């Protein structure tokens, strides 16, 4: 059979699709639950079916894939479950926009036809994100793909809802909720994003009913005063506590408001007097419940003033009502002042519309009992990495409020609750009832609402494994091993999964949670379309390949630190892929069709001993870094080993043996070269699966090596403690120091690379002398040296370049090599020219007219130019001093 060859150049697009299809077609990543090995499982954070791959996804997928591929190498039975989220609000919005273009609304279609239309969209476009996940090389089990709205997940959702209801943990009632006027649905607290916005603080005078004076309140929303039902002051505030128990007159409306005392009121904020509007403020709602206040809603579900407002305001928007109310207050002399006030405003996480607190009849989960279990489980059963997120997790659970789970949309799990029209009985059941369980009437009506999307995704770790059925997957892979996710859904998702896992499986859903950081642009700014700084991972894959993108993200994925990403960095790691490719091509040209068997414990050349020792250290470092989620150290360790040690040093040092006549030495070096290269590909595989698979597939093998041609199935390279050799490391460091020191002398003194030099080495020990003499030919070759003199009595001439390596003194005679006078004259000329240019730039930057009027980018450019010239001046000055010192 003809020997396999690598293409001359690495073209990732020729490689990636081939292996991506191979792994999926051969079901490489579809484990047998009854198979051997300790279980290791991960569930993919399900992306929305409306989504497209962004850089956060790319990072998340890369880190999960590293963990899964590494643990397969450890012999574990690994399952990585893929899937998508039905994304209720977002998906419904997409389809409703399509209908709007057709001149239709969902109500024109009706509920059933509209749901059919959404399913059609899902089948056509909803799996687009999955094809993009494939492009990243994710080693998921595609045979077990899940969807939060498929039949099995629907079965799990219904069971959880019914059981929580029967346990008294789900209830229906009137409560203040976050309401999106645009999406026309309730939102949970953590679905509300708070954005800083400029606003106004309005100071309004409320007269006391007994005529004894007045008090002033400060509010950012004067239009809600129409729903005021009290004034609150702090009982510890001596300015106002004597008013507690009295009443004030609500301006414009004329209604009397009780003045109540509560320590909740911030004495320092505003005026110290708080208008209480229980129907339109979350905190006021709690005050109202505590003090038994009336709840008066003056806004409808569209944000329009309703029948509870004075007649002249009905039908107005909040903005319209605010304008009219302020004008009227001003006319009445009760608008004291208006001042600028920056504050945070809640907006819908989907459509970004301003959220309106709204009292409504909704379904809720009672969270306190569930939260207590979830809190106690960390860190006893589940550890969070980085650890500082544990405090945030605790804080959210400690301050948790009941979760509003009903949504007023159609795309989602419909709430399994029916109300009897005859007797009012509420029926919650696993199977659809045909009649009232209390009076037997057939007139029962199902609740119109659907469940919050996060309700179904809270069950993801066990519903994806087949729960509530008793499946082999559930028995084998639950609890899952690790959850990799972003910090932004620590509350949306992670905490709720903890609660549901403990409630329904009596176990935490995962042993570890790794919270990865944000991927920002190269200046540290958050990527956004509006800013125009988004780096599209799919574009980067097309240009540089998935492996280059994955390696870049891994190399900067330090625990707890955001990633500053640029296209140049990805391009740089594409060069690293090329380096690996070219090094392999060199190795292939110097390897036989069958690799000879060699006993590595026997004596060998310094390069072989050293690289085998370093390989053992790299194995240990990578294993430990992966287990501790120090992903950046995995990439950095591999980069240094492959580029600097294997390519730059080892491959250069073994060329004499590979090209020489000593067949025994050649065979030994070939065996070491193949071993290091092949095992390095296995170590690198979790980070860069495609290039390593392509290389592994063409490498020759030793006789009897029957391992699979699929690198994804190979075990982590076995350890060889006998190859650890501290002496070889010290000897190699001496050798590299001598070569590097000599090269540095050449570079510092601007000696042409082609000019042959002499090297004198005054040694400090017979051992060092022996090492250097044994490798004299290599030193000559790598440092471009013509003659070397080594010994304890070597003396250097006066005009010499010098360096010290482990106490050994290196000298390069410079007489006849460097024209000192000409070189110093050239340096003086360059310094003078540089200083003249620097003076001009410095003067420009000291000119206020230039600094204040020129575009910022131009000013920054001049500052950068000056900094670069100052650095160049320092280098030239140091070189001049070095030459003068050499001349004596």
Position 597 confidence tier, pLDDT thresholds 50, 70, 90: confident
User: Span 737-752, mean pLDDT?
Assistant: 89
383-387: Cβ within 8 A, 24+ apart: 383/511, 383/512, 383/513, 384/512, 384/513, 384/515, 385/512, 385/513, 385/514, 385/515, 385/559, 385/629, 386/515, 386/559, 386/560
User: Span 293-319, mean pLDDT?
Assistant: 91
Q: Which CATH number fits domain 558-724: 3.90.79.10, 1.10.730.10, 3.40.50.12160, 3.30.1280.10?
A: 1.10.730.10
Which residue would you say has higher pLDDT here, 851 or 246? 246
Per-residue pLDDT at 600 = 79
DSSP 629-662: T-HHHHHHHHHIIIIIIIIIIIHHHTHHHHHSS-
Alpha helices (H) in 449-566, listed in sequence order? 453-457, 460-463, 472-477, 496-505, 537-544, 546-555
Per-residue pLDDT at 823 = 67
Q: Which residue ranges make up each domain of the chain?
A: 185-356, 558-724, 728-813, 820-887
Q: What is the pLDDT of residues 90-111, one digit of tens each?
A: 899 899 999 999 999 999 999 9
Of 156-165, 315-324, 433-442, 824-833, where does mean pLDDT reach its minimum?
Answer: 824-833
Q: What are phi and psi of 324, to 5 degrees?
A: -70, -40
Per-residue pLDDT at 603 = 64
Q: Give, in words, the CATH class of 820-887.
A: mainly alpha
Nearest 5°: CA angle at 881, between 879 and 887?
Answer: 105
User: Span 43-47, mean pLDDT?
Assistant: 95
Would the pLDDT of 346 be above 60? Answer: yes
Which residue would you say has higher pLDDT here, 99 or 852? 99
- pTM of the entire structure? 0.83
User: Span 181-188, mean pLDDT?
Assistant: 76
Position 706 confidence tier, pLDDT thresholds 50, 70, 90: confident
Would the pLDDT of 4 be above 90? Answer: no
Binding positions: 529
Of 68-77, 223-232, 490-499, 761-770, where does mean pLDDT reach its minimum?
Answer: 490-499
Domain 185-356 has CATH 3.90.740.10: yes
Binding positions for ATP: 529
Q: What is the 3-state secondary structure (H, E, C) of 786-834?
A: EEEEEECCCCCCCCEEEEEECCEEEEEECCCCCCHHHHHHHHHHHHHHH
Per-residue pLDDT at 780 = 94
User: Span 57-62, mean pLDDT?
Assistant: 96
Token pair for 18: 């081939």
Q: What is the 3-state secondary structure (H, E, C) of 237-298?
A: CCCCHHHCCCEEECCCCCCEEEEEECCCCCCCCCCCEEEECCCCCHHHHHHHHHHCCCCCCC
Position of tokens 């009076």? 439
**Continuous segment of H or E residues that includes residue 773:** helix 766-774
The closest of 346, 241, 232 to 278, measured between CA atoms, is: 232
Per-residue pLDDT at 888 = 59
Per-residue pLDDT at 16 = 95
As a whole number of Å, the end-to-end CA separation of the chain is 68
Token pair for 187: 């939102």
**406, 451 in Cβ contact below 8 A?**
yes
User: Span 636-648, mean pLDDT?
Assistant: 97
Would the pLDDT of 258 be above 90? Answer: yes
Tell me the residue length of the chain. Answer: 888
Any idea of the CA torsion for 150, 155, 158, 164, to the nearest 10 degrees?
A: -120
266-270, 522-526, 767-771 — most confident range: 767-771
Q: What are phi and psi of 348, to 5 degrees?
A: -65, 130
Would the pLDDT of 313 be above 80? Answer: yes
User: Span 603-610, mean pLDDT?
Assistant: 88
Q: For the chain, what percent of residues have pLDDT higher than 90?
A: 72
Of 249-263, 541-555, 723-737, 815-829, where does mean pLDDT reach its minimum?
Answer: 815-829
User: Span 474-490, mean pLDDT?
Assistant: 93
Of 69-78, 179-188, 518-527, 831-840, where does mean pLDDT reach its minimum?
Answer: 179-188
User: Span 116-129, mean pLDDT?
Assistant: 92
Would the pLDDT of 491 be above 90? Answer: no
Q: What is the pLDDT of residues 854-864, one digit of tens each?
A: 888 888 889 98
Per-residue pLDDT at 1 = 46
The whole-angstrom separation of Cα 460 and Cα 41 is 13
**74, 37 in Cβ contact below 8 A?**
no
Average pLDDT for the chain: 92
User: 365: helix, coil or strand?
Assistant: strand
Q: Is 721 exposed, middle or buried (0-12, 13-18, 19+ CB in 10 A)?
A: exposed
Beta strands per DSSP E along 152-191: 170-180, 185-187
């Amino acid at each position: 059979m003809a020997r396999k060859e690598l293409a001359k150049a690495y073209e990732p697009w020729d490689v990636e699709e081939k292996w991506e299809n191979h792994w999926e077609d051969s079901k490489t990543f579809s484990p047998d639950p009854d198979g051997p090995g300790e279980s290791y499982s991960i569930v993919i954070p399900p992306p929305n079916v409306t989504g497209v791959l962004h850089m956060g996804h790319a990072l998340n997928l890369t880190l999960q894939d590293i963990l899964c591929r590494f643990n397969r190498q450890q012999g574990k039975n690994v399952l990585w479950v893929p899937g998508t989220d039905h994304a209720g609000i977002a998906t419904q919005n997409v389809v409703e926009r399509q209908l709007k273009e057709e001149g239709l609304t969902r109500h024109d279609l009706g509920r059933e036809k509209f749901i059919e239309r959404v399913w059609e969209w899902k089948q056509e476009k909803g799996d687009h994100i999955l094809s993009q996940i494939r492009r990243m090389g994710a080693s998921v089990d595609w045979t077990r793909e899940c969807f939060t709205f498929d039949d099995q997940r629907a079965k799990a959702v219904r069971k959880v809802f019914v059981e929580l209801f029967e346990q008294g943990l789900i209830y229906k009632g009137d409560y203040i909720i976050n309401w999106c006027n645009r999406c026309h649905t309730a939102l949970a607290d953590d679905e509300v994003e708070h954005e800083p916005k400029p606003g106004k603080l309005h100071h309004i005078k409320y007269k006391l009913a007994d005529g004894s004076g007045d008090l002033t309140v400060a509010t950012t929303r004067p239009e809600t005063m129409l729903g005021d039902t009290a004034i609150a002051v702090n009982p510890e505030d001596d300015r106002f506590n004597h008013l507690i128990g009295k009443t004030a007159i609500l301006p414009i409306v004329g209604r009397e408001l009780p003045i109540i005392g509560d320590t909740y009121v911030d004495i320092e904020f505003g005026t110290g007097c708080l208008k209480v509007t229980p129907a339109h403020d979350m905190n006021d709602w709690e005050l109202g419940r505590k003090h038994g206040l009336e709840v008066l809603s003056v806004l409808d579900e569209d944000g329009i003033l309703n029948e509870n407002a004075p007649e002249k305001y009905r039908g107005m928007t909040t903005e319209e009502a605010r304008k009219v109310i302020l004008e009227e207050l001003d006319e009445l002399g009760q608008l004291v002042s208006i001042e600028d006030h920056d504050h945070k405003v809640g907006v819908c996480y989907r459509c970004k519309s301003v959220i309106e607190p709204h009292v409504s009849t909704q379904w809720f989960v009672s969270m306190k009992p569930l939260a207590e279990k979830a809190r106690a489980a960390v860190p006893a059963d589940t550890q969070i990495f980085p650890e500082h997120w544990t405090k945030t997790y605790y804080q959210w659970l400690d301050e948790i409020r009941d979760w509003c789970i009903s949504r007023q949309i159609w795309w989602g799990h419909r709430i399994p609750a029916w109300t009897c029209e005859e007797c009012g009985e509420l029926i919650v059941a696993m199977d659809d009832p045909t009649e009232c369980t209390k009076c037997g009437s057939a007139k029962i009506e199902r609740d119109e609402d659907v469940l919050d999307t996060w309700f179904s995704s809270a069950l993801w770790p066990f519903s994806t494994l087949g729960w509530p059925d008793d499946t082999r997957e559930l028995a084998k892979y639950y609890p899952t091993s690790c959850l990799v996710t972003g910090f932004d859904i620590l509350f949306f998702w992670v905490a709720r999964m903890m609660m549901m896992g403990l409630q329904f499986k009596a176990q935490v859903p995962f042993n570890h949670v790794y919270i990865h950081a944000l991927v920002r642009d190269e200046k540290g700014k958050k990527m956004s379309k509006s800013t125009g700084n988004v780096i599209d991972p799919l574009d980067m894959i097309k240009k540089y390949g998935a492996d280059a993108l994955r390696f870049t993200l891994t190399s900067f994925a330090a625990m707890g630190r955001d990633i500053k990403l640029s296209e140049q960095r990805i391009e740089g790691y594409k060069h690293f892929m090329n380096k690996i490719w070219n090094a392999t091509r060199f190795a292939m040209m110097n390897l036989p069709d069958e690799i000879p068997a060699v006993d590595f414990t026997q004596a060998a050349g310094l390069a072989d001993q050293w690289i085998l020792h370093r390989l053992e250290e790299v194995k240990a470092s990578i294993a430990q870094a992966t287990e501790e989620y120090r992903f950046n150290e995995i990439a950095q360790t591999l980069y240094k080993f492959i580029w600097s040690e294997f390519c730059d040093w080892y491959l250069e040092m073994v060329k004499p043996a590979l090209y020489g006549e000593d067949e025994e030495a050649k065979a030994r070096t070939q065996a070491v070269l193949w071993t290091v290269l092949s095992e390095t590909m296995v170590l690198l595989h979790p980070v860069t699966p495609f290039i390593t698979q392509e290389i592994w597939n063409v490498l020759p093998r030793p006789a009897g090596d029957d391992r699979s041609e699929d690198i994804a199935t190979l075990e982590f390279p076995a350890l060889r403690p006998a190859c650890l050799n501290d002496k070889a490391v010290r000897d190699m460091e001496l050798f590299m120091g001598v070569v590097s020191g000599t090269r540095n002398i050449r570079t510092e003194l601007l000696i042409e690379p082609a000019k042959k030099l002499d090297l004198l080495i005054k040694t400090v020990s017979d051992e060092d002398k022996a090492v250097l003499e044994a490798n004299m030919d290599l030193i000559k070759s790598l440092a471009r040296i013509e003659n070397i003199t080594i010994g304890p009595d070597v003396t250097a001439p006066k005009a010499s370049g010098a360096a010290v390596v482990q106490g050994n003194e290196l000298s390069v005679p410079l007489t006849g090599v460097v024209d000192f006078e000409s070189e110093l004259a050239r340096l003086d000329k360059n310094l003078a020219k540089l200083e003249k240019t620097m003076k001009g730039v410095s003067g420009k930057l000291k000119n206020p007219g230039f600094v204040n009027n020129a575009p910022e980018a131009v000013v920054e450019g001049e500052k950068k130019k000056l900094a670069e010239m100052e650095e160049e001046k320092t280098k030239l000055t140091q070189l001049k001093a070095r030459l003068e010192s050499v001349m004596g």
